[in-house]
């Protein structure tokens, strides 16, 4: 049997030809194939690469000059990604993590410095979706605040501090973790006025701060505040690599060198020192380059489109208060599922409707169209 080299392997079955149109140029100097998918994907945070598209893009990135793989998540393209993320986030150091769960846990574990209390949002991913990792593995007591809301207040924090100090058994509040925007609240942002008060209170009390900024780069396009400026008051910040930087998996944790320089030991202890993560880091690094400019264009297109649909009586837009890239679209005069099928035939993809409404996600694929063309497509689909 003849041997298949790496280049041939990636091209079997047309893998190299399936890269989505509208992607940025290859960051390491090569040009991507723009002949394929032109779908406008109105759900999710990223472009939704298929396995074929991902493999084709990865092949071209590997062939570009300057690529070097990692070893156990250290060196090569991983170092390049970490350095760039640290720069963009305005932190001294960044470290790759295989998941956001591990990034949040490692950050709060390091900030807490031992058994103590950590204040979190009850609606946060850290509290609701990470399997009680901080409690089980690091002896931390999470104090959830603001049930059903994206934001807790400085007064809420002060009450926890006062109760902790007055306890019969000595304890302390060591850290506060804040998620913004909040996934469980459809991308609602943490209230900026309360955030400033909480930051000031934390500084007075010697409490350290962690930011779950999984979708921080999306939030920045809606507030106009740079990710570095927003992250500056926080000791550590986590950013997702798969949500909109389109890696197959991964996360970045950024913060001070003194805290992060040796964290790869803890990463390995918790089973996160993967043998090779270059297939994640290489794609994330590619999409990070120029993302803020590209995403800002997509947001402008979406806002023009929302205004245009609002002038048509059949469409109703429900915005999330203090929201970011998610909103609900309701349509009258037609069956939502039928509208979804007609739009799909025009290469506009929506998630299935829920309770008669579509949850729309603004992502980079909006750069493949214009507000006028997208509005026309929806009106045509409405007419059948």
For the domain that residue 375 is a member of, what is the CATH number?
3.90.1150.10
Residues 284, 303, single domain; the answer is no
Residues 244, 348, single domain; the answer is no
Ranges of H-type helices in 113-245: 125-128, 133-138, 154-165, 192-205, 216-223, 227-231
Residues 129, 260, single domain; the answer is yes
pTM of the model: 0.89
Number of domains composing the chain:
2
Task: Tell me if 277 is assigned to some domain.
Answer: yes
pLDDT of res. 229: 98
Residues 147, 20, single domain; the answer is no
The two structure tokens encoding residue 17: 């030809």
Strand (E) or helix (H) holding 8: helix 6-11
Range of the domain at 171: 76-288
Residues 240, 352, single domain; the answer is no
Q: Residue 239 burial by CB count (10 A; 0-12/13-18/19+): exposed, middle or buried?
A: buried
Task: Tell me if 308 is assigned to some domain.
Answer: yes
Instruction: State how far the Cα of 221 lies from the Cα of 223, in Å rounded to an integer.
Output: 6
Task: Tell me if 117 is assigned to some domain.
Answer: yes
Residues 281, 295, single domain; the answer is no
Sign of CA dihedral 256, 174, 274, 81: negative
- Render each residue's pLDDT in the chain as its tens digit; 384 residues: 333 343 333 333 333 333 333 333 333 333 343 434 789 999 999 999 999 999 999 999 999 878 999 999 999 999 999 999 999 999 999 999 999 999 999 999 999 999 999 999 999 999 999 999 999 999 999 999 999 999 999 999 999 999 999 988 888 999 999 999 999 999 999 999 999 999 999 999 999 999 999 999 999 999 999 999 999 999 999 999 999 999 999 999 999 999 999 999 999 999 999 999 999 999 999 999 999 999 999 999 999 999 999 999 999 999 999 999 999 999 998 999 999 999 999 999 999 999 999 999 999 999 999 999 999 999 999 987
- The domain boundary, picked from 248, 265, 288, lies at 288
State the CB neighbour count (10 A cutoff) for residue 107: 30
Q: Are 328 and 343 in contact (CB under 8 A)?
A: no
Residues 23, 154, single domain; the answer is no
Task: Tell me if 70 is assigned to some domain.
Answer: no
State the CB neighbour count (10 A cutoff) for residue 329: 20
Residues 206, 99, single domain; the answer is yes
DSSP 8-state code for residue 119: E
pLDDT of res. 222: 98
CATH of residue 275's domain is: 3.40.640.10
Residues 214, 253, single domain; the answer is yes
Task: Tell me if 71 is assigned to some domain.
Answer: no
Task: Tell me if 262 is assigned to some domain.
Answer: yes
Residues 35, 82, single domain; the answer is no
Task: Tell me if 309 is assigned to some domain.
Answer: yes
pLDDT of res. 38: 86
The two structure tokens encoding residue 74: 């250290």
- The domain boundary, picked from 255, 288, 321, lies at 288
pLDDT of res. 66: 83
Phi–psi pair at 143, nearest 5 degrees: -105, 100
Sign of CA dihedral 209, 156, 131, 187: negative
| 286-309 burial code (b ≥16 CB/10 A, e <16) | bbbeebeebbeebbebbebbbebb
Residues 283, 302, single domain; the answer is no
- The domain boundary, picked from 241, 261, 288, lies at 288
Cα end-to-end span (Å), the chain? 54
Ranges of H-type helices in 213-368: 216-223, 227-231, 257-260, 263-269, 278-288, 291-310, 336-345
Task: Tell me if 194 is assigned to some domain.
Answer: yes
Residues 159, 101, single domain; the answer is yes
Helix (H, G, I), strand (E, B) or coil at 151: coil
Identify the CA nearest to 50 among candidates 39, 42, 60, 64: 39
Enumerate residues 6+ apart whose C-beta is below 8 A from 15.
Answer: 52, 55, 56, 59
| DSSP notation for 219-254 | HHHHH---HHHHHTTSSEEEEESSSSS--SS-EEEE
Helix (H, G, I), strand (E, B) or coil at 28: coil
Helix (H, G, I), strand (E, B) or coil at 300: helix
């Amino acid at each position: 049997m003849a041997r298949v080299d790496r280049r041939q392997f990636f091209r079997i079955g047309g893998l190299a030809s399936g890269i989505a149109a509208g992607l940025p140029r290859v960051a390491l100097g090569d040009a991507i194939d723009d002949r394929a998918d032109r779908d406008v994907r109105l759900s999710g945070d990223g472009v939704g690469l298929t396995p074929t598209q991902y493999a084709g893009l990865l092949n071209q990135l590997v062939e570009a000059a300057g690529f070097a793989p990692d070893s156990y998540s250290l060196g090569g393209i991983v170092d390049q990604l970490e350095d760039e993320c640290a720069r963009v986030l305005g932190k001294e150091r960044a470290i790759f993590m295989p998941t956001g769960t591990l990034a949040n846990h490692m950050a709060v574990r390091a900030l807490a410095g031992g058994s103590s209390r950590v204040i979190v949002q009850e609606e946060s991913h850290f509290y609701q979706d990470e399997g009680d990792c901080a409690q089980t593995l690091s002896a931390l007591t999470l104090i959830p605040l603001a049930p059903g809301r994206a934001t807790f207040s400085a007064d809420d924090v002060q009450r926890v501090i006062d109760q902790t100090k007055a306890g019969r058994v000595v304890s302390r509040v060591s850290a506060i973790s804040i998620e913004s925007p909040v996934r469980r609240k459809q991308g609602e942002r943490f209230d900026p006025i309360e955030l400033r008060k909480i930051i000031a209170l934390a500084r007075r009390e010697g409490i350290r701060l962690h930011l779950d900024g999984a979708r921080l780069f999306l939030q920045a396009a809606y507030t106009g505040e740079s990710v570095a400026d927003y992250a500056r008051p926080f000791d550590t910040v986590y950013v997702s690599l798969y949500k909109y930087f389109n890696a197959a998996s991964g996360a970045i944790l950024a913060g001070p060198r003194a805290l992060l320089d040796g964290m790869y030991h803890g990463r390995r202890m918790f089973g996160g020192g993967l043998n090779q993560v270059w297939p994640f880091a290489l794609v994330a690094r590619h999409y990070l380059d120029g993302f803020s400019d590209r995403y800002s264009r997509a947001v402008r297109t979406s806002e023009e489109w929302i205004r245009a649909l609002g002038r048509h009586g059949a469409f109703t837009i429900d915005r999330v208060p203090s929201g970011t890239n998610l909103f609900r679209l309701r349509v009258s005069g037609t069956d939502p599922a039928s509208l979804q099928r007609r739009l799909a035939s025009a290469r506009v993809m929506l998630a299935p409707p829920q309770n008669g409404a579509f949850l729309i996600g603004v992502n980079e694929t909006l750069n493949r169209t214009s507000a006028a063309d997208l509005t026309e497509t929806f009106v045509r689909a409405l007419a059948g």
